[in-house]
Structures are given as C-alpha cells and as structure tokens.
Chains A and B, each alone.
Chain A
Amino acid sequence: MSTMTALRNPEHTSTAQRRELLALWAAWAVLIVTALIPVPGFGLIALAIAMVLPGYLIETRLIHMGQLEIVQRAGLWVVFSFMTWILVALPTILFARHMYWLADLAVVLLGTALAITFAPVRARD
C-alpha cells in the first residue's frame, strides 16, 4: 500500500502506520521551518531531523534490513542520510562549481515527498 493510498483509506491503515506517517510529515514540517527560517536554538532540531529522516526513508521504504537491531538500523539511517547529503550536493558542486543550499534542500524535499507518496508504507520483506 502506498502512503497516498494509506492516507485516503484510513480504514485499511493500522494505527502504527498512521502514527508513522504523521510523525514523518511533522518532522518534515519542522525541518523546513527550522532550515529555511533560522530560528536561534532550533538549528539543532533541524540537524537531528536531517541526520535521520532521509536515511530512515531509504531504509524503511527501499531495503528494510529488519534483521538488524533497532540501534543498528538507526546507525544505518544516519549513514544513509550522510550519503544523501553528499550525493544531492555533488552535482551542483562538480558541475556548477557551487553548492546551492536552497536548491539542494528543495531536491531533498521533493525526492522525499515523492518517496513518501509513492513508496510502500511497509516494504515487502
């Protein structure tokens, strides 16, 4: 079931899935606000979200390494987040010789929104 389907058919969505979706969208909202509007003291919240969220989406939506313990999976989320940062910034740095922060962020946001929308809520394992 895709996220969009899950949102449209709440009767077919478990409470845990709905909570997860809600948490994801809330996390993105906080990240957008804190990243685009630099609020003193809120930067660390944005950092904490950005260090986990892209990796979380990649792990849970794409590969789902369920045999690992939760701490190990959390490690994987951070690693995949670092990977996302690097790969998203790489083309602009290498070809445009400049890192466009806003553009990068927009790409991450767009990519992740698409991932949430079209990827399965629970990857088949």
Chain B
Amino acid sequence: MTDLQEVVNPDSAVTPVQESRATKLLSVVILLSAQVFAVGTMVAAYSGITVGPRPQNFTLFWISLLTGLIVTVWVVATHIHRRGLVAWAIIGLGLLTYLPMYLRRPRAVFFDELAHFRQTQELASSGQLDAHSIVPVLPAFPGLHIAAATVSKLSHLDVWTSAHILLFTCHALAIVGIWALARTLNLRSPIPELAAVVYAVHPGLLYFLSQFAYESLAIVLQIWALVLFTWIVRHPHRNAVRGLPVFALLVLAVAATHHLTALFLAFFVVTAFIAMLITRAPRTQLIVAGSAAGLAVVVAGGWILFHSPSTVQYLVNFPQQGIKQIVDLVTGHHSAATARNAFGATALPSYEPALAYLQPVIVLALWILGAVIMWRQRRRAYAWWLVVVTGCYFVTLPLILTALGAAPAHRSWPFLWQAGSILMSISLVAAIAWASRRRFGRTLAWVVTTGLLAVLFIGSAASDFNAEARFPGKFESGIDGRQVDVETYAVAAWLRAHTVPGARFVAGDQYTAGAIAGLTRLTYDDQFPTWDVLFYPPPLADEPLDHLQDSGNKYLIVDTRMLETPFRGGYYLNSNEPGAFTRTTPLEPAALNKLDDQIAFTHLFRTKHIRVYEITKADEVGENEANEPGEK
C-alpha cells in the first residue's frame, strides 16, 4: 500500500529527462501524424453515407478515436516531462471528440439544438431574445446564445459556423479544465493528465456535450469555477479576497447559461464544504469554503427561482417520475410505458453494447480501488468529495432502465465523471506504480491501462450515442436527428418567406414541430390536443375541429411519414396523448387524408411528404364555402 500512497502525495514535480533533439522531433512527428491520421479516418467514417451507417463506418469511427486516445496516453506515459507536447496531445484529444458531431450535421438537425439555433439567430440578427415556444425556459438562460452570437458578430461568420467554433473550443476547454482541476488539488503527475484523458472517454462528451445546447458551454464554465474554488480554498489567506468575487461572477455566468449545471455547481461546492467540515479543515478554509458555497447556492438558486421559477417543476419532474418508475419496476407494476430495454432494437455493432455492460464494472473496480487509496488520505477533504460524488454515478445507473428516468441519468454523468475521472486516474496511476515495481513491468501496465480506457470509451459511447444520432441516414419517424432532412428545410424556407412572424401552428408530431419552430419564426402551440384532430379515422368530429378553429392557430403541418411506423419515441406529440408508449401500430392513412376533404383546411404548400394547411376560422368558412379546397 505504501507505493500506492506515494502516487497521490502532493508533489507535482516531474523529473526532467534529457532527450536528444532527434528524439524530441520524432515524438512530435509521431503525435502529429497520429492526429492527422485520426482526423482523416474520421472524415472517411462520415463519407458517402446515404441510407445509414455500414459496419465499416463504425470501424473507421473507432480507429480514429482510439488512435487519438492511444497516442495521447503514449505521450502521457512516456513524455510527461514535455509539457508542451502533453498539452497539445490533450487539446488534440478534446478537439477530436467534437469532430464526429461536426461531421454528422452540416446544419442543425437535433431537436434541442434547433431551439438554441433559432434563439441565437434571433439574438444575432435583431438583438432580442425570442419567447421560444418549444423550450419556454430558453430566454431565461441566454449565456450560450450570447456567446455564439458574439462569435458570429465578431468573426462575421454565420451562426451555425460560429456554433461549431464555440463547441470545438468548449471541448478542448472541458478536458483541459479537468487537467487543471486535478492540478489545483496538487495531485502528482501523471494523475492530472490521465484524469483529462479519462474525462475524454466519459459518456456524454461525444454526444450530449457536442450538441449546440446550453449545457455544452455551461459545463465548461462550471468545471473552471470548481478550479477557481479549489484554488481559493487551498490558500485562503492569499486568494480569497481576489478570488471570491470572480468566483461569484463565474457562478452567475453559469446560472445565466444553464439551470441544471448551476445546480450541480452548487451541489459540488456544498458537498466539498461538508467534506471539509468532516475532515475538520482549518477555520479560515472553512470560512472561505462556506462563503463560496453560500454564494453558489444564493446565485444559482436565486437566478432560477426569481428568473425562471417554472424550471423547478421541470427539473424535479423527470427524476421524480424516474424514481417512481424504478419502484414500479421493483414491485412488478411496470408496463410498456415505464420500462425501457437497454439496447432494444439497437443498430450498433454487437461489440459496443457488450462493452457498455462491461463499462460500469470497470468503473466500479476503479472506484473501489480509489476509495481504498483515499481512505489513507481521509484527512483531506477532496478524498471524501471524490469518493462520494463518483459514487453517485452508481445511484443513477438504475434510472436508465426507466422511460422518464433515463434522460436525467444521462445528463448527470458529465458532472459526476468530473470527480470520477480524477478518482479513476488516481486508481490507474496507483496500479501502474504498483505493477512497475513488480515483474509485470511498467510498459505492460500502461498497455493494460490503455486497453481499459478503450473499453470505457467504446462502452460509454454505446450507452449515450446511438447509431441514428451518430451517423446521418434515411428519414426515421420519431428518431431525433433523423427526422430533419432536405424536405424539412424546404418547408421551413417557404414558411419563412410566406408567413407572418409569431403566427401559431400545430403539427402532427413533436419533431416536425421542433424543426419548424427552430427554422422559422412561427410559434408552436404545444398545449393544443392535436391528436383529437389527427389520430382518428374519418369523419372528423365537429368538436375538435371547432376547438382547433377557435384556438388561434393559423397552420397545421403534417409529415405523412409518421404513418410508416409507430413513433419510436413512444409518442407523437407528448406523453399525455392516447396510446403513448403503448401504441404498436402506426396511424391509419385515412386519419391524415381526411384533412384534404375538410373545407376548414386549405393546402398552402406541400413537398413529397410534408403538408402545410392553413386553418380557416369557423366564421370564415361560410364565406369560403363556395370555393373548393385546393393548392395555392
């Protein structure tokens, strides 16, 4: 155990190693060549895909990412004294983790990012925030939109290109931030460097934090707020007066960017303060940590409560429902509406789900080893914090088996892995140090470490980044990222040119609604029960028709491809609709075709699959009754 303890001793000095100029040059050439190869392979992985990915696309995808991973671990293992080389390797790995999503979508296609895209466009073009109909809380959290619009304004680039620049930067900043966090904890190299690598393979970086959504920026600000907090608390006499005001400003920037991230930041700082109370930290440190915790709670909580109180219900609802569904699962009361099969009907290659099941086992083993090492460090508050926060990851795992708990579980992982990556890095470096002194040898230990990281990488990606989100392909009803295509963009372009901004519309399904709301200036009415009009065979009853005509909605937009399969998201419009989660057959074609026979609906525009109807008010129908419905 003694040599394990030496690993985490607060001594970050790295022994310089004399290298010839040729050796130095060779390592640079190897790193750059591997990175160029990784980029080229990833470009190849995304080339020529039409209907969907083939096995070779997945193979190239992993060759690229694993090349980036292996070369970074190689640099950390063999060139830790070359600080510039290590920095470039880590930054390169961070940039590489955004490349798949950059290549995946030359324009916005995912539900969430369409909403953020519109908000940023509004801000960049008019200077005003939009009362967004799809995600009503967006105007209360404008940080991402300000940052992206500022990039656009300063660079004179379009909003989408600006979003890519911002996201590439955020990816590099996230893993450099973890490196800096471990460094401010005064952990000995190569723990901070390896922690950055572990964070690069966590579930979330490839997909969740690669979307143009507010958490992608907020989490970067949050990680660096933790760095600042650690720096302040470690030397309170010297740093508190200058650091605390800047920390408060950073918390405010986080709160103004994303609600959940602000709450996680407050949670982290409060738990760190509690850990310091348990370990009886010096009085000055406690006062400063308590002040920072108070600031974080007041600023984050205050922003949400006073600026966007409806967010509280939104944040509470999903985990609450998820826990209820876990109870239902355990007590045998679950149904198709609550249970969720892991990797049911997945299009991923078979090795990915297999490694996804192995991933929590490896994390558990590293957590246990880390907890054992930290027990010897139990007088240090960070030891408690790392073990407890990483342990929360296992609490979230059962939630992924429930329909409503899965989303909050996935969203918590990029936060919990911040502590997890440092703790796992401590375990890995301890194991390497132990193996290096025995007959296994240091090289073998690093090879095994790289193998474990590769398993974590593939397993993490499998659990968060499904095939449809990862690669472009044919239209698929109810699949986020596969339901916005050239037809959607064509309809949106027509609507932008021919409708009044702010006019309200209803739609046949949530993804069409989200796309139209994101790409036009129309407002989606998410409160209207459109299923009463669309879901049933003819004739259309008078009551729902009258209700729609009096609702103030001007347009009805339907993508007829919703008839091809039951909506894979579980419901077409929302979880309150008839047949949500339990529907096994798609709607009857007659249910949509009946619209063409109604004088209340006028065809305005249609593509091969998408129809735009104008809804005529009841009192205007009489005036138009003499006219036959037809296309304009």
Residues of B within 8 A of A47 (CB): 151, 154-155, 165
**Closest Cβ of chain B: how far from A48's Cβ, in Å?**
9
A79-B173, A82-B221 known; A72 and B179 CB under 8 Å? yes
Label chain B's interface by main secondary structure: helix
Q: Do A35 and B227 touch across chains, with their CB atoms under 8 A apart? A: no
Q: Do B238 and A97 touch across chains, with their CB atoms under 8 A apart? A: no
A43 CA / B123 CA spacing, docked (Å): 19
Q: Do A43 and B154 touch across chains, with their CB atoms under 8 A apart? A: yes
Per the 8 Å Cβ criterion, residues 62-113 of A in contact with B are 62-63, 65, 67-69, 71-72, 75-76, 78-80, 82-83, 85-87, 89-90, 93, 97-101
Q: Do B183 and A69 touch across chains, with their CB atoms under 8 A apart? A: yes
Per the 8 Å Cβ criterion, residues 145-196 of B in contact with A are 146-147, 149-151, 153-157, 165, 169, 172-173, 176-177, 179-180, 183-184
Q: Do B146 and A99 touch across chains, with their CB atoms under 8 A apart? A: yes
Q: Do A99 and B127 touch across chains, with their CB atoms under 8 A apart? A: yes
Q: Do A87 and B239 touch across chains, with their CB atoms under 8 A apart? A: no
Please give me the residue from chain B that is nearest to A125 by CB atom.
B238
Please give me the residue from chain B that is nearest to A38 by CB atom.
B156
A71-B87, A75-B177 known; A87 and B252 CB under 8 Å? yes
Q: Do B249 and A87 touch across chains, with their CB atoms under 8 A apart? A: yes
**Closest Cβ of chain A: how far from B5's Cβ, in Å?**
23
Q: B256 at interface (Cβ–Cβ under 8 A)?
A: yes
Q: A51 at interface (Cβ–Cβ under 8 A)?
A: yes
Residues of B within 8 A of A71 (CB): 83, 87, 91, 176
The answer, among B143, B155, B249, for a CB contact under 8 Å with A46, is B155
**Closest Cβ of chain A: how far from B123's Cβ, in Å?**
6
A75 CA / B242 CA spacing, docked (Å): 19
A38-B156, A69-B87, A86-B253 known; A79 and B220 CB under 8 Å? yes
Q: A16 at interface (Cβ–Cβ under 8 A)?
A: no
The answer, among B87, B156, B184, B250, for a CB contact under 8 Å with A83, is B250
The answer, among A43, A51, A76, A123, for a CB contact under 8 Å with B180, is A76
Q: B217 at interface (Cβ–Cβ under 8 A)?
A: yes
**Closest Cβ of chain B: how far from A59's Cβ, in Å?**
9
Number of residue pairs A-B, CB distance < 8 angstroms: 113
- The interface size bin for chain B is 35 or more
Q: Do A86 and B257 touch across chains, with their CB atoms under 8 A apart? A: yes
Q: Mark A34-50, 1 if CB is under 8 A from B, else 0.
A: 11001010011011001
A47-B151, A99-B149 known; A76 and B224 CB under 8 Å? yes
Residues of B within 8 A of A38 (CB): 156
A71 CA / B87 CA spacing, docked (Å): 7
A80 CA / B180 CA spacing, docked (Å): 15
**Closest Cβ of chain A: how far from B222's Cβ, in Å?**
10
Please give me the residue from chain B that is nearest to A49 by CB atom.
B154
Residues of A within 8 A of B239 (CB): 63
Q: Mark B56-87, 1 if CB is under 8 A from A, else 0.
A: 00000000000000000000000000010001
Q: 15 extra interchain contacts, Cβ-Cβ under 8 A, other than A47-B154, A75-B224, A87-B249?
A: A47-B165, A63-B231, A65-B184, A68-B183, A71-B87, A72-B176, A72-B179, A75-B172, A75-B180, A79-B220, A83-B221, A85-B150, A97-B129, A98-B128, A99-B123
Using a CB–CB distance below 8 Å, which chain A residues touch chain B? 34-35, 38, 40, 43-44, 46-47, 50-51, 58, 62-63, 65, 67-69, 71-72, 75-76, 78-80, 82-83, 85-87, 89-90, 93, 97-101, 123, 125
Using a CB–CB distance below 8 Å, which chain B residues touch chain A? 83, 87, 91, 123, 127-129, 142-143, 146-147, 149-151, 153-157, 165, 169, 172-173, 176-177, 179-180, 183-184, 217, 220-221, 224, 227-228, 231, 238-239, 242-243, 246, 249-250, 252-253, 256-257
Return 25 A-B CB contacts under 8 Å, by A number: A43-B155, A43-B157, A47-B154, A50-B150, A63-B243, A65-B231, A71-B91, A71-B176, A72-B176, A75-B180, A76-B180, A78-B173, A79-B177, A79-B224, A80-B246, A82-B253, A87-B252, A87-B253, A87-B256, A89-B142, A89-B150, A93-B123, A93-B142, A93-B146, A99-B127
